[in-house]
Structure 1
Amino acid sequence: MTTEVRRSPDSGHLGLFAIQDLNSGDIILEEMPLVKLAPSDEKSYDDLVSTLWASIEPPSDGSVPDYLHGIFKGMVKTAIIAIRDMHQEVIDQNKIESLLQLYHPTKESTSDTEKPIVKVADEAINFIREHVSTNETTAKIFSEFEDWDILLKICLVWSCNSFQGGRIYPQLSRVNHSCNPNAVIQTTTATQQANPEQMNDDNNTNDGQQLVAATKIQKGSEIYISYLGLILYTDTVVRKKKLERTKFFNCLCSRCCAASSEGDEGAAKIPCPVFHPRDAQQMSLDEDAQYDDDQSVRYIALMEPKSNDKSGTDNEKLYKVLRSVCGIIESFLETYEHNGLANTRHVNNKDSHNNDDEDEKDDIMEQHVGLSSTMMGDKHWTSNLTLLLHLDRRLSAMSKRMIVTQELPGEEEIAEAIDSLDRISRFVDSLKLDIDPGHVLGDVIIGTARMLISLGDEKSQKYGAEWLSKIDDYVEQFANDGVKKVVKTLKVAWTKQDRPNDDKDDSNKKAKLI
């Protein structure tokens, strides 16, 4: 054992602590889920909810806030699955007891962040009692169900502790959040047979997860992961709001507290409005202030104006406009991550979208990149995260073109990709997180290096290999075998001797696929 569960001094809740020193890349623990409370491809599940899904609607009295409508629907589905699995004894009494040991809000909670989700759970149970238990398809299962208080608690456990796919783990679900995490979750190759007592009856499913140290962790330290995905790289206001609305707690991690006490928010830097006046109507920046090519722009953190600010009216107006832009970009990032718009780059997949669809997506992406740059400047998280997604799509398109036509990307395309990667890398480094930059930049670094090395000349190949060297530790400790193989192939390619003459006309040169 490398961990123990005890009370966290930061949150007051139980957390996971290291009982020995850990190095980056060490596997801390590995688990299969205790239960899996989410939709699946099972026919039994489809039959159970197919007639109900369209009718699941939040109460019309406004008791469920708009931002929780999706969670309300998810909770109803979760409750249906829980009832089914309890009826079939897939979730037995031992599993119920284990579930209820995990943190969950109660009806007695006085926390303003917890009260909304308790209300949602109440409404979800009411919906099930009124609609599901009387439905012709489900009445046979639910007619004798009486453990409504237990079901309410299970729904609240799900809302606070589940991973993607509704998976809840005995120990992993106890790991608390930090906006400067020291560990990450990775899918494991563990099989269902490795720990069958922790699994429900979903056969042939690999839902195992590993908790892996993302940096050195000293004995006695609490182990933290991030609950935020890409939102981890945003500012404190956005992160705290996201956690309050999806995990129902007020984050008091070291990063959030430092931003509040020191007034230094690295992800929220904007050109100072005093030194870089904006267009009075549009609030947009001059081009020089947008891109900061000569590093002459002065920056401040985007913070809510104080009430005693002499120029409060103008500053408040600017703050509201820029916060509105942040909201637009935040919604875009969440949609992008949820829909999985980025294409897999390292395998040869057929494009499932027609050109019109892809052109439309590119237009939408460029609009958000342009909005961020125009309003927020070079160093703000909105500009850098939209640029990251834009770079990801461009690299994917270049890779596909190379595979289909064997045409090399143009010098301008490569230069633009390198410039984007440089900017994003500086931004990520400026946040000074303990987690390796490779966790967010690994794909685009590999993609950019692949384009450079495919050019075939020594200078480009060496430059690509240098970029790859920046993520050596990340690849060694966290990448899967397929990615490691790709990186190894790319790094040795520039040492080969059969390169074309750099001075030759390469206008008709075909891509050397790597």
Structure 2
Amino acid sequence: MTEVRDTKDSGKALFATREYAIGDIILQEDKPLAILSHTTSYSAKNDSPFIAIAQAYQQSNTQLDIEAKLLSLYHPQADTANPAEQELWKNSQSAAENDDRLHKIIMIACCNSFQGGYVYEHASRINHSCQPNAIVNIQEDTGALLLRALTPIVVGEEIGISYAGLYLYTDTRARQHVLRRDKFFDCACVRCQEAVDPANMIPCTKCHPRHQSHLDEATQYDDDDEHPVKYMMWKSDQFVCESCDYVETLKSSVATVVHSISDKVLQFLEQYKEQDNSSKASSEQKDNAPQDEQDEELESLLQEHLSLASSVLGARHWTTNLLLLLYLDRGLKQYHKKLIFQQAADDDMQLDLAEHIDHLQRITQFVKRLKLHLHPGHLLSDVIVGIARALVSLSDVKSAQYATRWLDHLIGYEPFLSEALVKVVDSLKSAWTRMEADEPAHKKLKG
């Protein structure tokens, strides 16, 4: 059970009135109040999304009681002191065509809508947190919403979800940029106020000198246990080496390079998301040749950005790891496509799989270093299952056993998996059991 209360700095918010364990359902809403366009990406330089919201609302014939509930949701006031909200207020006015009510609706959609433009009576009051204690799942066909606890929640605790998506795993500077751009506010959550930022970590510039800003391969990949890389972490607006205490300040050329590459990666991630969505939308078309060319170009750009991030910022920086995750996801999809036609993995595919496993291990360690109150499955469930499927496809007991060890990383995350994915996980685990039971018979035959 929950209730809406006023907060000191964040308007109205949703609070727990009972305790919740991980996975418990906190809130259900069978349908949204309204669907206000199909985008959650807005820009002060482009008013077409604002116009789309206005048109969607005008065509919806919303009843007066629902309109009253919509208008009770948060929206910036004309005298707001927040620069991002001032920008939203100003640039959404023209789409409203001097209709104050419609102007408010547009701003409400920008500040409170979920993916697909869904706006809810209760869930749209949930504030953002970069250390969320709950997660929302929405059925695309019906708009039905389910809110589950990600962490144990006590009575009186505010419910917080992430508005940041994949960007939850970036550093504070990047998250602040995305939230200001997409949701028009400056996040002041506990995580954003922490002095130490483990997502922003680079090899020490003194311990590991660069050649024209680039790291040598041993430092870049950091896979020599006998000679571990020494890292600088972002602490209170400067990089500080954990080993030698060497400092690179905010105004240093090093910080400038880090921020420049981070900005490039942020821009690319947006491009990747847009093109990936476009690719999915056109996947059912008969002529996919133009889309295939775009996919090849996108993969080339992904490799280019990944090479830049890893060679300059190293293996532990958020840019390297999020790009590596996209690269891993694409690689696994290609692996399984090949498997459909070849029936069995050849030597090259097995080498690819070994590389995919190495990538997943690196990303898993990155997620753990962030010390979020989130299960790793929140980010990695799909690729973990993809790795397990690939291992089971090798059809030997050791590989199937290794697959179950990876699937064990999802223990505790089962309530958040889709029914289809739960069935896949159960099937993969039972494959190892069957192979293990059959192994003695195989050995006898070989003997």
For Structure 1 versus Structure 2, the TM-score category normalised by the shorter chain is 0.7 to 0.9
**What is residue 287 of structure 1 aligned with on the other side?**
217
Pick closer, same or farther for the CA change 1:171–1:311 going to 2, 3 Å: closer
**What is residue 487 of structure 1 aligned with on the other side?**
425
Looking at structure 2, the residues matched to 323 and 441 of structure 1 have their Cα atoms a distance apart, in angstroms, of 26
Any residues of structure 2 matched to 1:85-484 within 5 Å, and which? Answer: 85=60, 90-126=61-97, 148-188=99-139, 205-258=141-194, 262=195, 264-279=196-211, 282-295=212-225, 296-302=228-234, 304-305=237-238, 316-340=252-276, 352=288, 356-408=293-345, 410-474=349-413, 476-484=414-422
Looking at structure 2, the residues matched to 312 and 481 of structure 1 have their Cα atoms a distance apart, in angstroms, of 49
* 8 Å CA contact retained: 1:25, 1:478: yes
**What is residue 242 of structure 2 aligned with on the other side?**
none
Q: Does 1:8 align with 2:7?
A: yes
Letter in 1 for 2:94: E
Q: Please, which moves more after superposition, 327-336 or 209-218?
A: 327-336
Looking at structure 2, the residues matched to 351 and 23 of structure 1 have their Cα atoms a distance apart, in angstroms, of 49
Looking at structure 1, the residues matched to 160 and 390 of structure 2 have their Cα atoms a distance apart, in angstroms, of 36
Pick closer, same or farther for the CA change 1:230–1:342 going to 2, 3 Å: farther
Task: Percent identity, please.
Answer: 39
Number of aligned residue pairs: give it: 424
**What is residue 53 of structure 1 aligned with on the other side?**
none
**Residues 290-335 of structure 1, C-alpha deviation per residue, up to 9 Å, x if partnerless?**
11112511111246559xxx99799622211221110111122222
Q: Does 1:69 align with 2:8?
A: no
Q: Equivalent residue of 1:113, what SS?
A: helix
Looking at structure 2, the residues matched to 103 and 35 of structure 1 have their Cα atoms a distance apart, in angstroms, of 15
Looking at structure 2, the residues matched to 299 and 320 of structure 1 have their Cα atoms a distance apart, in angstroms, of 18
Give the drift of 1:285: 1.4
Letter in 2 for 1:169: Y
Q: Does 1:21 align with 2:9?
A: no
Give the drift of 1:407: 3.0
Looking at structure 1, the residues matched to 49 and 279 of structure 2 have their Cα atoms a distance apart, in angstroms, of 27
* 8 Å CA contact retained: 2:391, 2:399: yes
* 8 Å CA contact retained: 1:4, 1:16: yes
* 8 Å CA contact retained: 2:22, 2:149: yes
Looking at structure 1, the residues matched to 409 and 164 of structure 2 have their Cα atoms a distance apart, in angstroms, of 24
* 8 Å CA contact retained: 2:238, 2:247: no
Give the drift of 1:350: 10
Letter in 2 for 1:122: Q
Give the drift of 1:411: 2.6
Looking at structure 2, the residues matched to 275 and 15 of structure 1 have their Cα atoms a distance apart, in angstroms, of 47
Give the drift of 1:123: 2.9
Give the TM-score taking structure 1 as reference length: 0.77
* 8 Å CA contact retained: 2:74, 2:111: yes
Looking at structure 2, the residues matched to 29 and 314 of structure 1 have their Cα atoms a distance apart, in angstroms, of 43
Give the drift of 1:357: 4.6
* 8 Å CA contact retained: 1:8, 1:222: no
Letter in 1 for 2:173: V
Considering fraction of residues, name the structure with more strand.
2
**Residues 112-151 of structure 1, C-alpha deviation per residue, up to 9 Å, x if partnerless?**
231111111223234xx6xxxxxxxxxxxxxxxxxx1111
* 8 Å CA contact retained: 2:203, 2:229: yes
Q: Which has the higher contact order (CA 8 A, sep 6+)?
A: 1
**Residues 350-384 of structure 1, C-alpha deviation per residue, up to 9 Å, x if partnerless?**
99567655443332221121111011101000011
Give the drift of 1:404: 2.2
* 8 Å CA contact retained: 1:234, 1:382: yes
Looking at structure 2, the residues matched to 98 and 80 of structure 1 have their Cα atoms a distance apart, in angstroms, of 19
Question: Which segments of 5 or more consecutive residues in structure 1 lack a partner in the other structure?
Answer: 41-65, 130-147, 190-204, 505-514
Give the drift of 1:450: 0.7
Looking at structure 2, the residues matched to 179 and 237 of structure 1 have their Cα atoms a distance apart, in angstroms, of 12
* 8 Å CA contact retained: 1:343, 1:396: no
